[in-house]
Chains A and B, each alone.
Chain A
Amino acid sequence: MSSEALELGDDALIAAQRLAEWCASAPELEEDLALANIALDQLGAARLFLSYAGEADGRTEDDLAYLRDDREFRNCLLAELPNGDFAVTMAKLLFLAAAQKLRYDALAAGPDARLAAIAAKTRKETAYHLDHAARWVVRLGDGTAESHRRMQDAVDALWPYTHELGERAAWLALVEPVLAEATLDRPADGWAPAGGRDGVHTEHLSYLLAEMQVVHRAHPGARW
Chain B
Amino acid sequence: MSGWPLWEVFVRPRRGLAHGHVGSLHAPDAEMALRNARDVYTRRQEGVSIWVVSAAAITASSPDEKDAFFDPAADKVYRHPTFYDVPEGAKHL
A associates with B: yes
Number of A-B contacts (CB under 8 A): 27
Report how far A139 CA is from B28 CA in the complex, Å. Answer: 10
* A135: Cβ under 8 A from any B Cβ: yes
Report how far A139 CA is from B4 CA in the complex, Å. Answer: 14
What are the residues of chain B within 8 A of A117 when measuring CB–CB? none
What are the residues of chain B within 8 A of A33 when measuring CB–CB? 36, 39-40, 43
* B25: Cβ under 8 A from any A Cβ: yes
B58 to chain A, nearest CB (A): 20
What are the residues of chain A within 8 A of B31 when measuring CB–CB? 135
Q: Which B residues from 44 to 69 make CB contacts under 8 A with A?
A: none
* A34: Cβ under 8 A from any B Cβ: yes
Interface code A2-34, partner B: CB below 8 Å = 1, 0 otherwise?
000000000000000000000000001111011
What are the residues of chain B within 8 A of A34 when measuring CB–CB? 35-36, 39
Taking beta carbons and an 8 Å cutoff, which residues of A are in contact with B? 28-31, 33-34, 37, 131-132, 135, 139
Taking beta carbons and an 8 Å cutoff, which residues of B are in contact with A? 4, 25-28, 31-32, 35-36, 39-40, 43
